[in-house]
Amino acid sequence: MSQDTSLTANVTPETQAAHPERSVAELKQIAAQVRRDIVRMVHAVNSGHPGGSLGCTDLLVALYFRVMKHNPDFQMSGAGEDLFFLSNGHLSATLYSVLARSGYFPVSELATFRKLNSRLQGHPATHEHLPGIRVASGSLGQGLSVAIGAAQAKKLNQDDRLVYVLMGDGELDEGQIWEATMYAAHKKVDNLIAFIDHNGQQIDGPTSEIMNLGSLRAKFEAFGWKVLSTNGNDLDTLLATLNEARQLTGQGQPIMVLMDTQMGFGVDFMMGSHKWHGVAPNDEQLEKALQQLSVEEASDY
């Protein structure tokens, strides 16, 4: 049934380091394949979080397939590499697909997602030693602190690579994020680029109703961060913003990218609602989703 003809077939580890040459058209094909993985993974176990996972696919594809210098021959220390942390760990399906298709582990292993004895836990964990995961996440609000710690260790080690971290907008309700936000500016952690997945939704409804976020730009600027805004579902815009963010590192301020996204992006009936936060598609819905997520050469696991 499943073929392990992944996108990694003709990609060697050496070429995994920052890929300025990889075209936006290629990235779009990869993103579509990752989205196919996501809906199939959550469908297979009738659980998981497709909405946010689809919404952040473009960012993770841009980071892992073009922007970050990283090595699929995984070393926990990540010395000399850019590091990515997923604070909103419920987007695990996206991270697992991107890691597998970058060569960290076999793409066929995506079929074990959320199943017993799998390394692909419901939320990312180091416990089962899945290559590419550096800390457990899922209990919200903790990833920014971990990323800042990793960034400060890089400075101590005179390692000039960057640390990236993604958080949800609903996750900003957690107080620890604001502790970390104050700290990073005070300590001038300027080798850090953070992203907010600003989709305006959380489990119980729109963020504007559950816990209004107000002006995130004003908040983070007041805390002393350099703030950029972008469209997280348009790869051209996103790549330009990533480039700008990288240019702004090393100037005494941490960088925050407010990324407008749509939950469920790429699958029309999953978009624009919090309904698909933690619900898997049924057989019919999966079929419909896969029709919309077409790729030139599907390499489904």
Partner 1 sequence: MKDFPYSELKDTRSGFGAGLHELGKSNPDVVALCADLTGSLKMDAFKKDFPERFFQVGIAEANMMGLAAGMTIGGKIPFTGTFANFSTGRVYDQIRQSIAYSGKNVKICASHAGVTLGEDGATHQILEDLGMMKMLPHMTVINPCDFNQTKAATIAIADHEGPVYLRFGRPVVPNFTPADQKFEIGKAVLLNEGADVSIFATGHLVWKAILAGKLLAEKGIDAEIINIHTIKPLDAEAILQSVRKTRCVVSAEEHQLNGGLGDSIAQLLAREEPLPLEMVGVNDSFGESGTPEQLMEKYKLNEAAIVAAVEKVLARKQK
Report the interface residues with partner 1, using CB under 8 A: 76-79, 83, 125-127, 134-139, 141-154, 156-157, 159, 175-176, 179-180, 182-183, 186-187
Beta-strand runs (E) in the chain: 83-86, 163-168, 192-198, 201-202, 205-206, 226-231, 255-260
How far apart are CB 300 and partner 1 at their closest, in Å?
A: 31
How far apart are CB 146 and partner 1 at their closest, in Å?
A: 4
Which tokens sit at 191? 């080798």
CA–CA gap between residue 236 and residue 62 (Å, rounded) = 10
How far apart are CB 135 and partner 1 at their closest, in Å?
A: 5
Would you say 157 or 243 has its CB closer to partner 1?
157
Is the separation of the CB atoms in 125 and 133 below 8 Å?
yes
Q: Parallel, antiparallel, or unpaired: how do β-strands 201-202 and 205-206 relate?
A: antiparallel
Helix, strand, coil tally for the chain in percent (to 5): 45, 10, 45
Would you say 137 or 253 has its CB closer to partner 1?
137
CA–CA gap between residue 32 and residue 161 (Å, rounded) = 28
Which whole-number Å values give the CA distances from 251 to 72, 79, 150, 248, in the listed order?
A: 30, 22, 18, 6
How far apart are CB 199 and partner 1 at their closest, in Å?
A: 24
Would you say 179 or 287 has its CB closer to partner 1?
179
Which tokens sit at 161? 């690579």
The H-assigned helical ranges of 21-114 are: 24-45, 50-55, 57-62, 92-101
Would you say 176 or 237 has its CB closer to partner 1?
176
Beta-bridge partners for 164: 84, 193
How far apart are CB 214 and partner 1 at their closest, in Å?
A: 22
CA–CA gap between residue 161 and residue 186 (Å, rounded) = 21
How far apart are CB 150 and partner 1 at their closest, in Å?
A: 4
How far apart are CB 282 and partner 1 at their closest, in Å?
A: 32
Which tokens sit at 57? 């696919």
Name the burial class of residue 23, with classes exposed (0-12), middle (13-18) and buried (19+) by CB atoms within 10 angstroms of its CB: exposed
CA–CA gap between residue 58 and residue 64 (Å, rounded) = 10
How far apart are CB 29 and partner 1 at their closest, in Å?
A: 32
Would you say 122 or 200 has its CB closer to partner 1?
122
DSSP 227: E
Would you say 127 or 275 has its CB closer to partner 1?
127
Would you say 184 or 295 has its CB closer to partner 1?
184
Would you say 22 or 161 has its CB closer to partner 1?
161
